[in-house]
Each structure stands twice: as C-alpha cells, then as structure tokens.
Amino acid sequence: MRFGRISKAVGVAAAAALALSACAANQGTTDNGSTEGESTGGEVRVVEVNAFSSFNSQTANGNVDVNSKIAYATHSGFNYITDDLKVEPLTDFGTYEKVSDDPLTVKYTVNEGVNWSDGEPVDADDLMLMWAVNSGHFNDATLDPETGEVAAGTNYFDYAGDTSGLALTDVPEVGDDGRSITLEFSEPYADWEVAFGALSDGGVNVPAHVVAEKAGLADGDALIKLIQDTPAGDPANPAPAANEELKAVADFWNTGFDTKSLPSDASLYLSNGPFIVSAIDPENSMTLVRNEDYNWGPEPKVDEITVRYIGDAPAQVQALKNGEVDIIAPQASADTLQQLEAIDGVTINSGNQISYDHLDLNYTGVFADEKVRTAFMKTVPRQAIIDAIPKKLNPDAAPLDSQIFLADQAGYEDAAAANGSSEYADVDIEGAKELLAGATPEIRIMYNKDNPNRVDAYTLIAQSASEAGFKVVDGGLGKSDWGSALGGGTYDASIFGWINSGVGVAGVPQIFKSGAASNYNGFSSPEADALMDELILEIDKDKQKDLQVQIDKLIWDSSYGIPLFQSPGVDAHSDSIGGIDSYMPNQTGVWWNFWEWEVK
C-alpha cells in the first residue's frame, strides 16, 4: 500500500501508504528509542513486496510503502511512532516546543551537528523547503469540476499528504541560529504534533541545498529567500503565470529523486539518518550500510541491511526457510501461516493491520456517469472476496463497511449503519443491468499483478461484473509500476490499499478532499470538504468521530467505490535475529525499531 503522510495512508504488503485516521492501539511493547548493549555488526536481510522507485517518498508517485520504509531508515526527524501507537520525540535530532496555545505556535530546532552525508548541516533551509511543500502555501490552482484537471493557476509541489493543517500557517520565522523555524497557526490544529518532520513520514527527507542547486539557485539560503519573498497563492485570483524559480524548485522536488537504480550523482540519495543506500539491483534488491557519521538518534546494532523484493508469499516463506533472508512480512493467509509454523527456528508475529484493501472508481471517463459507478459497485462480490482472501486466516473476517473507519475503531458501527453500505452487501446483477439499460461499458482495472491477493480480488470482480454486461480489461501492472500509475488516467478503476500511521485525522482530507494529491479518483464534494476543514481543527475525539461519520456517508452517497477488507498481517523472522518482539500494525511495520535489530 502507500501510507502516507503521517499522514498519509499501505496493505499487508503492497499498497499506498500514509493515511491517518483514529485506530485502536496495538498491545505490544514500547521502545523509547534507546539502544541497549553494543553493536552486533553483521547483516540483516529483509523482504519487501514492492520494488523501490524513489528517494522522495512524499510525492504522489513516490508514496509507496517500500520507499517510505527506506526513507525511515535513511533519515531522521523530530519524532516517531512506537508499536503501541504513541508519539515519541527524537530529542537527539532536534526539538519541537509549543511556544503558545493561543495562537498555536510551535518552534522546531535541529540540533547542532546533525548533518547530511555530504557534510552539509540539516538546518533552516531544509525545514523551510519542507514547510513550503507540506503547506501548499504557494498553490493557486483551480480545478475543472468535471475533469478534476487544473483549469487555471499552478499547483507547485506534488505532495502526497494533506496540506490543510500547515496551510493554517504563514511563512515561518527563521531563527537567528539558522537551525530553527517557528510556525504560528491561525487556528488550533488537531494533528500539530505529527504535522511536521515526523520520522514516520520520512523525516527531513529531501536536502534543500541539493534541490536549490538542481533548480538553478545559488544555495539553500537563496531558497529560503525565494520562499520568504514569493507571494502566497490565491486560487480566487490565480497568477497569470507560474513563478519560474519556484516552479523549477518544485519540478525537481517532484521528480528529481525518482529512480529504480542507484544514481551516479550521490547528491540524489543523501542520508541524514542511521543508514545510507549503497547499491540497488533494479526490481530485485537494494543494500543499506551504516552511516558512520550518524550519532543523533538511536544507533543501529547491525552494519548492513539488504532489502529483497519478493511479491509472492510462498516465495518469501521459502526464502526464509532456506536461510536466504532473515525477516519477511508476506501477504497474510492461512496457508502462509501454516507454512511458517512448519519452519523450525522462526518467530511469528501477527495481528490486524491499520490498513484496508479497496476498489476505487474514477469520476472521469466511463465512470463519470454515477449510474455506471453504482451499477459496477452492485456487481462486486464482497463476500466471495472475503472468503478467498482474509477469511482463510481470520474466521471472523467480514466485508468492510466504511471508507474511513476500520471495524475495531470507535465510530465504525455508527458509520456503517448510516452510510448506505448495506445496499452493496450482496451482489445484485439484475439491479446493475437495470441501471446500465443495455449498455456494455468497457472498464480497465489497474492493480499490482505481482500481489496474489490483488490478483484474486481482480479475478472475482471481473467475473462478476461481466455477468452484468461490463467488458472488463485487465490493467494489472508490475510491482514497481502500479504506484506511479495511480491518478494517471490510464485506468477506470483501481484495487490497492491504504495503511495508517495510527495517529491523527489528516489522512481523511489527504485521500478524500477535492484536488488532494492522494485523491487519485477525483472525488469532490463541497459539503465533505467543509466537514474535513472542521475535522482538522477539532481536538475533541467524539466530535472528530461524528464528523467522520458524516463524511463517510457523503463518500458512499457519491458511489465512490467499495472498501473490501481490513488487511490481516503477519511477519516472521529467523531466531538468529533479535530486536523484533511485537507486531507493529502501522505503515512502518517491522521497520519501526530497525535500530534494535541484531544478529545474535
């Protein structure tokens, strides 16, 4: 899946990642970022389902689970999320201090001595660039309500997360120390603590001095001045032309770090965290080695991490059994669990992920007609998909009846009772035919063809839809290509997953707000937008729940698509590897405390 911003929303193995929504805590152990004992050295070999594709995991194209995990291991930030879903500050990297409650004012300071791997300090230019990206401050684009395309103005940074929180701030004040910025919010913001520079969102993951140089600016200071001097965007009065300097900065930020191989230019994969990428075998594997200069956070015990890309669950299990890899997190199924239990010297952790698989329908092309969307939704064999995929592992698995809540979250029952999901509980081929009135629309469905669960879901959906007259075209793509295709207009429907960080509510507007970068299918509702604007300001948990219940109904009323199921999760590791003591349900998965991994 994809996660997203600490935002954003990824599946037991392949989906899009970072969406935030309230969720139940996993009852595991908590690590405070400390590392006990000496370094063990050695190598840990871990498997990921998707192939690496970008050193900037915060763009809409780069926001894929594996990219986010590599960013997590190679960068630092102001805090991270523990396995019991608590926010833990990383004070060795820097500090964030709430200076005032009214107005909400927060000062972020990077500690002296924190550097990029080229020796340049992590300082105010990096923070200012991150603010410019995360706030959408300079965007002045208006969208065509029919196509969702930009009709006038400019959207500069293709940021996958939600900008509405930091949009409440004006240009930050840069501290005299050159390592701090202060954000003043015009209104309270519910997710302020994880809104900026959180490690679970990739931390401070793009070097501003490199972006500045590649965009033709003199240095990071010139970038700060550009941000300070450029007027805020005003969609009500868009500029007749884009700011050329800012557009050059944004264009490089958007695409300059995308790659499936190791760039010859080392500035494109700088680290400010525990590890540095040292090698990539495209579509197969990548290698991370210890950053010898890193001492501003929990220090890893091992010297090297090799990441192999294996999409097929049985192949992952076989690789673990053969001693070819040490840690796997395959697609969860009863067969997978049974195979793992048969291997000696292996520890298994399992639980429900904070993620869900879903079928999304585009609001353009053949699905611009709401009747056609509704007809297609009536054909989705929800129970058959449950029986074929999650029920083999979890006998209590059931179709997911909310676009926002998972079944074990407060608010789910209220949402499911009110949103109209019951209309799609059973397949209704005759109802679909009636809506189509003899038409036989051609529908291209995009999904990760290297993910067995997605293949099963596609096959069942295609077979059922064809009975109503739909002509379904297989639009499956490979493990390194499907993520960048999201929102690209090359398909009519998509099957993928979102995974949560487990804290905050910013993931709701990230996915569902009009024009949001992770709103891949073009859903737009002024009423839902207004409720989401309220949601990000609301601190009361019960009121957050009520707002989300209302938003959920508007999404269903619009024939958005079908949530399929909450993803069960399982990971396993060789007993020769220590430091993996509990199941982590959010987007970081087994990586959440990689610094504790050790070779026994």
Neighbours of 600 (CB within 10 A): 10
Q: Is 420 left (phi over 0), alpha (psi -120 to 50) or beta?
A: left
Is residue 431 over pLDDT 80? yes
Residue 567 — very low, low, confident or very high, per pLDDT cuts 50/70/90?
Answer: confident
How large is the average pLDDT for residues 123-141? Answer: 97
Neighbours of 388 (CB within 10 A): 16
pLDDT single digits (tens) 144-195: 766 667 888 999 999 988 898 999 999 999 999 999 999 999 999 999 999 8
Determine contact, residues 484/53, Cβ cutoff 8 Å.
yes
| Percentage above 90 pLDDT, the chain | 76
pLDDT single digits (tens) 31-84: 333 344 468 899 999 999 889 999 999 998 898 889 999 999 999 999 999 988
Closest CA relative to residue 53, chosen from 512, 477, 515, 355: 477
Closest CA relative to residue 348, chosen from 333, 328, 331: 328
Q: Which residue has the tokens 């804290």?
A: 503
Determine contact, residues 445/462, Cβ cutoff 8 Å.
yes
pTM for the complete prediction? 0.83
